[in-house]
Structure 1
């Protein structure tokens, strides 16, 4: 059996071939990869109005969409074209926020379903400092009700659920890890546990009940050979039918430790991720998770956005200093007692 190595699909079993046939097969793989690299990538972001969808989109993809701090700004699906390294276009869709009015939501939900079916990946955003899930849950069910099982599975496979504006969860305080003139924001231990609890709750509400329709996939290395009733693989990647919970991930990882990274990527597909556009917290994980969902060929379409993915979390020290939202005023002396922007570092 001849094998053709291609990093996007791993070793490909093609049967006994002569040199000419092997050369032709290699050319076909390169042609397929080239065609994929020029296909526009479409990403949609959605959720209730005011949860910070546009801000998150701007931070992730370097766009400059208008952000409305009082009134909703996005009234219709907004395409945001971004040029790729080879001149082809990536398209991101900033969707109208639900929850503005009942009449508007009916129109918006129809837009959502159409865009979810057509786009490559969709991000559904919730406000991290909210305990209310009923309305978003109702909207998701209305999206999925009345459509074929294949459509429900397609829609759910594209959705990445995130908790936005994680910076609003205080106290306890956030930690700014300063390295020279830049740094990164990270939650302290108590705050991290709070974020993890919230994420687990949202996962139980928005993913666990849909376990019978979920199908998650990621790219493999060509060496993955594990198969059971729910887990399988083919030339395009590794697939799992059902909710890939933390418990499922741990079970497979213990049973097949050589494939921990594959199971970790499958787990990330069903993980609700807290993030912050203001603090640029968890943006690298979110961007990487989007790519994991798309598969290995997405590397070609996403190369421009992944080149500096680690820089997504960097915040200038001068900017971080302005985030201190408490100034202590000494009323007796009539003077400032503390102002973070004036404290020498």
Structure 2
């Protein structure tokens, strides 16, 4: 290897200073205009396309019998000025070994180049083996630093939470619209599922994990795992609920920062049909993209509360239980016909 001689640089003259400032402005401008991308991946049939359609009002084809997404499908959202955020609907895995070879290669390429990746799992499946196997195959093909890069981008979600019933879902009606939420027993069930998925996908890979969020300039807490710089606040390792609670109790002034760090490693149950937790999902994605993204897509975040709203006329059609009086030959109960 060629030897690099030591050298020193003297004071810059006016021309050099002007050029340096121009270079800095150019680099900042290029970074702020950089297109941002989010990939949605997971097994066939977990509802990746339905999730995108609910988030953005798109009409991507959904396969209720057989998979229809055969190649990455982009959906772009405009921010301020020229800024764009693109969500990539990835083909599902789990159809066949041959298809998985192709699709996992697509996943790896997208995981390396995207800014955030959402790995979707079916909320009603108790099995994590196949998703874990595919994730391990992806990570085993790359060097340790690339593994850390990939894991720092991944957010795990439990889709189709609406299929978990009973116990019942609650529709909070406010005029002609409302929002869905799980009842107490169902909420505990969802929390248990989310904790289990964290224990499978994240806890064993704590050495690969990094939680990051934007800061407000007032954050000064630092220890061997927690640090901060001009780009935000960072935590090396698995930011579990226990870790979040410990820091929040110790530094209550920064609870919001710790909550955003926790969102990096929180498995989020959601439902495209009920529009449940779509607001939290979108907010978490934009927060993970960094402080520039929060500014660039502030309009999107201002409108994100509407993602949870479902028209009453639509919610009435979700009742999947009709009671038939066999003796009289009439319907005894049908939610769609009950006056509200």
Q: 1:333/1:196 Cα in 2 relative to 1: closer, same or farther (>3 Å)?
A: same
Deviation, 1:256, is 1.2
Q: CA deviation at 1:258?
A: 1.2
Contact kept in structure 2, 1:39 and 1:301, CA below 8 Å:
no
TM-score using structure 2 length = 0.90
> What is aligned with 1:203?
198
The residue that corresponds to 2:71 in the other structure is 76
Partner of 1:298: 293
Structure 2: gaps of 5 or more residues: 1-18
Q: Distance in 1 between matches of 2:314 and 2:258?
A: 38
Unaligned runs of 5+ in 1: 1-23
- CA, structure 1 residues 342+120, in 2 after alignment: closer, same or farther (shift >3 Å)? same
CA contact (8 A) 2:287 2:294 kept: no
Q: Which has the higher contact order (CA 8 A, sep 6+)?
A: 1
Q: Provide the C-alpha distance between the structure 1 equivalents of 2:283 and 2:112, rounded to a whole number of angstroms.
A: 22
Alignment partner of 1:246 is 2:241: yes
Contact 1:38 1:301 in 2 (8 A): no
- Residue 87 of structure 1 and its aligned partner are, at CA, apart by 4.5
Deviations along 1:89-115, whole A, 9 cap, x unmatched?
Answer: 332110000101111111111110100
Pair 1:332–1:308, CA change in 2 (3 A): same
Q: Distance in 2 between matches of 1:301 and 1:92?
A: 16
- Once residues 233 and 21 of structure 2 are traced to their aligned partners in structure 1, the CA distance between those partners, rounded to angstroms, is 23
Alignment-derived partner of residue 13 in structure 2: none
Equivalences for residues 119-158 of structure 1 within 5 A: 119-158=114-153
Q: Evaluate the alpha carbon distance shift between residue 25 and residue 261 of structure 1 in structure 2; reply closer, same or farther with a 3 A threshold.
A: farther
Q: 2 CA distance for matches of 1:266 and 1:214?
A: 12
Shift of 1:63: 2.3
Are 1:267 and 2:262 an aligned pair? yes
| Structure 2 counterpart of 1:283 | 278
TM-score (normalised: structure 1): 0.89
Structure 1 residues 188 and 33, CA gap change in structure 2 (3 angstroms): farther
Greater Cα offset, 297-306 or 320-329: 297-306
What's the offset of the Cα at 1:62?
Answer: 2.7
Shift of 1:82: 3.1
How far off is 1:78 after superposition?
1.4
Q: Which of 39, 43, 46 in structure 1 is aligned with 2:38? A: 43
Aligned-pair RMSD on alpha carbons?
1.9
- CA offsets per residue over residues 248-293 of structure 1, 9 Å max, x none? 1111111111111111110111000000000000111111111121
Partner of 1:309: 304
SS of the residue 2:40 aligns to: strand
The answer on 1:192 being equivalent to 2:192 is: no
Q: Distance in 2 between matches of 1:339 and 1:70?
A: 27
Higher deviation after alignment, 299-308 or 165-174: 299-308
> Could you tell me which residue of structure 2 aligns to residue 333 of structure 1?
328
Aligned length: 322
Specify the alignment match of 1:102 in structure 2: 97
Contact 2:322–2:334 (Cα < 8 Å) also in 1: yes
The alpha-carbon distance between structure 1 residues 316 and 29, as it changes in their structure 2 partners (threshold 3 A), is: farther
CA distance in 2, matches of 1:192, 1:39: 39
Question: How far is the alpha carbon of 1:26 from its aligned partner?
Answer: 11
Structure 1 SS opposite 2:54 = helix
- 3-state SS, counterpart of residue 259 of structure 1: helix
CA distance 1:311–1:28, shift in 2 (3 Å) = farther
Match for residue 229 of structure 1?
Answer: 224
| Counterpart-to-counterpart distance in 1, 2:126 and 2:43 | 14
Q: Give 1:32 shift.
A: 6.5
Q: Following the alignment from structure 1 to structure 2, what is the Cα–Cα distance between the partners of residues 301 and 97?
A: 30
Q: Tell me which of 302, 316, 319 is aligned to 1:321.
A: 316
Match of 1:52 in 2: 47
CA shift, 1:331, in A, is 1.4
Q: 1:175 aligns with which of 170, 189, 196?
A: 170
Inter-partner Cα distance in structure 2 for 1:30 and 1:60: 35
